[in-house]
Amino acid sequence: MQSFALNTIFILISLSSLSIIVSSSKPLNPCNDDFLHTQAYKQMQNQTSTTQCKKLSSLHAQFAWNYHKTSHNQTQLNILIGTKLITNTGWLAWGINPDLPRMVGTRAIIAVKVPNQITPSVNTYNITKDIQLGCKFQPSGVDFMVQNMTVVDDKDVGFFSVFATLVLPQRYNVSSLKHVWQVGYCADGVEPKMHETSLGNLDSKEVLDLETGDSQNIGQHRRHMRKIHGILNIIGWGTLLPIGVIVARYFKKFPVEFDPCWYYFHYSCQVVGYILGTAGWGLGLFLGHESKYYTFHSHRVLGICIFGFTTLQVTQILAFQFKPTQEDEYRKHWNVYHHFLGYALLVMIPVNIYKGIKILKPDNLTWKWTYNGILVLLGVVVLALEIVTWAKFLYIKCCKKTEEGSSPRPIEIEEDKKGPRRIEVGEDSKDD
């Protein structure tokens, strides 16, 4: 039993690792034609032929840059970032962080589109921890020189772009520039308001080598971990645990009796499912800790409840000495408790899996249809077994009635004046 569980876990981890290797080897995406034909990009390319351009990993953003060293051993960096911001109000931000690829500590350039204002405003901002906690967010100076800040709202192709020239001191390493970007849809004058808390907004950061164009995408590693988290929970809690319930429901005694094989299969499904689900749950807690400013509360609370309920269920399976025997007067109450937890889990698990899939947008369609297929398959199996159960039950009941109706009535012998007489039970006796 233990070797079966270990082999299953090893296969799943190997497949997950293989998917990470394959996805990590994908080449960088070049910018699309719409962005390359914007007036801002053409002007930037005319200045130097060394301009590079790439699609960023989230928020449909695209980024172009070129740079050269100044006489004072500083770096003059020209950047152009754009995305399709088609709303009347919104903002686009790009910035660099000298310490870590994250929002807190970033020196940012933010362009804000304000209704009834022809030209969007653009300013520099320092993003501190207080800003993410809700303090007022106003323009401020940064620790390097910023020139030629320009906003281009190209309505022909739909791109909202920001161009700027930065003169960076030596502390900003061009071979590992930690840059972040962000998009929001609400602003109050020149103050950008909180952006959405989707995974695309969370993953908008990377470490970029300006010379080669290679990047270490922080968000990409998190996406791989989310995939493993989802796979483990869908297989462990969303598939194996329901299969264990189906086996206990239909193969214990009726309509098919596989005793004691049903129990070993039920035990295997529950234990292996619990191990995989717990591993996925632990990974989810780690991901939540890494993104403490972006918490998905309902998904997190349901996940904790599912872990608690499954722990109780599996503990009952493993702790044989605490399980009441069939003759114990408390066995009936134990069964009610055990079945209540099991059926509660059958409701909570799909709900939470769908909540997790919804968080993965816009890459959630494949996940959604895959899990839909699993649920449909399990539902068809349950429906078929339920039909067999009722058909067998009605057949047995019908056969019993037929046997009772066709059986001969008992005969009694009664003595009368003329001698013995046969009387069928239910027949009135009459004197001759």
Annotated binding site for heme b: which residue ranges?
229, 266, 299, 338
Query: Which residues is 113 bridged to in the sheet?
Result: 90
Interior/surface letters 359-397, b for 16+ CB within 10 angstroms, e for the rest: bbeeebeebeeebeebeeebeeeeeebeeeeeeeeeeee
> What's the gap between Cα 323 and its chain centre?
35
Residue type, 371: Y
Mark the binding-site residues, compressed into ranges: 229, 266, 299, 338
- Helical (H) or strand (E) element with 324: none
Nearest residue to 381 (alpha-carbon basis) of 245, 276, 280: 245
The residue to which tokens 């351009």 are assigned: 53
Non-local CB neighbours of 58 within 8 Å, separated by 6+ positions: 199, 200, 201, 203, 204, 219
Per-position DSSP letters for 237-254, written without gaps between them: IIIIHHHHHHHHHHSSSS
> Angle 37-38-42 (CA atoms, 0-180°, nearest 5)?
80
